[in-house]
Amino acid sequence: MTTEAEAGVDAGPGAGTATAPAGSQAVRRALDVLHCFHDNGPDLSASDLARRLGLPTSTAHRLARTLLSAGFLEQDARTARYRLGPAVTELGRLSYHQRGLHLAAPELGELAARTGATVDLALRSGPYAVIVAGGPVTPKAGLRLPLRSTAPGRVLLAWPRAGAPDEEWGRVRERGHVLDDGATGLGVRTVAVPVLDRAGHARFALALRAAPAVLTDARLDWFLSQARGCARALEVLLLPPGERRAPEA
């Protein structure tokens, strides 16, 4: 088995104990390097990575070079800065298709065309709602949204997949949606609904984002009906037959 010293990574507290198998810290740190790119910011240098991770620059450099050799990072020949590599792109595309998200794209596109809103489909990943299909990613907008402070995040919390839902989310479930004014950007209004499975858990959150002049209070019910119709279609497209809700009468 490769040790952390052989992997070129500094051993930390607890290394080699029963709770930290040999090499686990190296894997954890390599994953942490990849997570540094979640904010969709500019390319990062080894010193940038070290500063974000609280590691010596030499350690960050070794980790980055290992990921570079495996295709998980690539390096700009002019600046020596790093960005996500082709192996990440490949795995992302494979996951996109394995989850059936390519089947959802036409439904999301039609919903966007009907409503004039930007449409996002998100799922939960730890403390974040991660946009997996729909709206574009721009230099100022990444894919991860805080759960508690965004409409899709609160939908995923209100209809949890594990554990008992918190009482504070009871009113959200009664309404059947979350409405946010400006949480994801100034001059943006967002309404989100769940894509539910048979057990009543939100497997995804479907969100519509538009200017307040478009997504008005007077038209909110219409937007919700459009979103809920799309959510029901996504239940069929994205969930196995045994996990889908019964058809509505």
Give Cβ neighbours of residue 246 (< 8 Å, ≥ 6 apart): 198
Query: In this predicted structure, which of 3-7, 53-57, 102-106, 243-247 has the lowest mean pLDDT?
Result: 3-7
Give Cβ neighbours of residue 172 (< 8 Å, ≥ 6 apart): 154, 155, 158, 178
Name residue 131's beta-bridge partners. Answer: 122
Q: What is the mean pLDDT of the chain?
A: 85
pLDDT digits (tens, 9 = 90+) for 160-209: 877 556 677 888 999 999 999 875 556 899 999 999 999 999 999 999 99
pLDDT digits (tens, 9 = 90+) for 76-123: 999 999 999 999 989 988 988 888 889 999 999 999 999 999 999 999
- For the cut 80, the answer to whether the pLDDT of residue 19 exceeds it is no
pLDDT at residue 46, rounded to an integer:
95
Q: How far apart (Å, rounded) are the C-alpha atoms in residues 1 and 22?
A: 8
pLDDT at residue 247, rounded to an integer:
81
Enter the pTM of the model: 0.76
Q: How far apart (Å, rounded) are the C-alpha atoms in residues 126 and 162?
A: 12
Under the banding of pLDDT at 50, 70 and 90, the label for residue 39 is confident
pLDDT at residue 239, rounded to an integer:
95
- For the cut 50, the answer to whether the pLDDT of residue 154 exceeds it is yes
Q: How far apart (Å, rounded) are the C-alpha atoms in residues 222 and 220?
A: 5
- For the cut 90, the answer to whether the pLDDT of residue 66 exceeds it is yes
198's tokens: 């048979």
Give Cβ neighbours of residue 97 (< 8 Å, ≥ 6 apart): none
pLDDT at residue 142, rounded to an integer:
59
Higher pLDDT, 226 or 160: 226
What is the DSSP secondary-structure string of 57-93? HHHHHHHHHHHHHTTSEEE-TTT--EEE-HHHHHHHH
Of 79, 78, 91, 76, which is closest to residue 31 (Cα–Cα)? 91
Share of the chain above pLDDT 70, in %: 84
pLDDT at residue 185, rounded to an integer:
57
pLDDT at residue 169, rounded to an integer:
84
